[in-house]
Amino acid sequence: MPIKQESRLFLFPVVILFLLMSGAVFGKTTLLEKVKEKFEKEKSFAVEIVLSGGRQKGKIYFQSPDFEKIYFGDYTIAIVSDTIWNFNEKIKRLVIQEKDEDFSPFSIYDILFKLPGECKYIENKGEGEFTLIPNDEDALNVKSVKVKVNKSSLPVFVEVTDLNGKKFSFYLKNYSFGSGYDRSFFNIELPKGTKIVDLR
């Protein structure tokens, strides 16, 4: 049944208003989207990790799309696609395992690209921070992850709350962006006598 002229005149401003409102909503860019856009433009980066209180320090190296190497205390951790190589220098043990549903709190890739799809997103733009709350806490083994972002759209502070309410936090400092690392950079050199535990 054709729409009468009067109905068309009534619907026209309603449609325009809807489009304007849609543009206003979808035109907004969240802090998370800004951070993801920043990292998607960069092929690789390195950043220092400092535990709250300055008790321990380490470094993260990342190369798109999913290569990471983390130095922290006695540990060297390489994340290559779906495999984690976790080497403890002190006891000379390497554990190899497939990446499961849990996320790694030191993994920038997990926090920015894996976790959001399984979480409720809450933003406090005035404080320059956003919080990710898992839809299924038990599946990810975490209650929440809060990320503070600086004016350059870089994460500078991460606070993870576990299922028991215990908080673990660290700062990210001195970012450096580059053109990429050689694939061999993500290998771990093992000293003689290293015990290898392959859980794959």
Mean pLDDT of 120-131: 91
- For residue 12, report the phi and psi dihedrals to the nearest 5 degrees: -55, -55
Mean pLDDT of 169-196: 90
Query: At 169, is the secondary structure helix, strand, or coil?
Result: strand
Which percentage of the chain shows pLDDT scores above 70?
Answer: 84
What's the pLDDT tens digit per position in 39-81?
888 888 999 999 887 778 899 998 877 789 999 889 999 988 7
Residue 47 lies in a domain: yes
Residue 17 lies in a domain: no
Residue 139 lies in a domain: yes
- What residues contact 92, with CB distance under 8 A and at least 6 apart? 191, 193, 194, 195
Residue 42 lies in a domain: yes
Best CA proximity match to 129, nearest among 102, 162, 169, 176: 169
Q: Do residues 166 and 141 touch, judged by C-beta distance below 8 A?
A: no
Categorize the per-residue pLDDT at 16 as very low, low, confident or very high, splitting at 50, 70 and 90. very low
What's the pLDDT tens digit per position in 94-121?
999 887 655 677 788 888 888 898 899 9
Which range of residues forms the domain containing residue 194?
30-198
Best CA proximity match to 128, nearest among 30, 42, 43: 30
Residue 134 lies in a domain: yes
Residue 19: is its pLDDT beyond 70? no
Query: What is the reported pTM?
Result: 0.76
pLDDT of residue 32: 93
Q: Do residues 184 and 163 touch, judged by C-beta distance below 8 A?
A: no
Q: Do residues 104 and 110 touch, judged by C-beta distance below 8 A?
A: yes
Can you read off the two tokens belonging to residue 84?
């984690």
Residue 107 lies in a domain: yes
pLDDT of residue 173: 93
Number of structural domains the chain divides into: 1
Mean pLDDT, all residues of the chain: 82
Residue 25 lies in a domain: no
pLDDT of residue 138: 78
CATH code, domain with 34: 2.50.20.10
pLDDT of residue 103: 66
Residue 14 lies in a domain: no
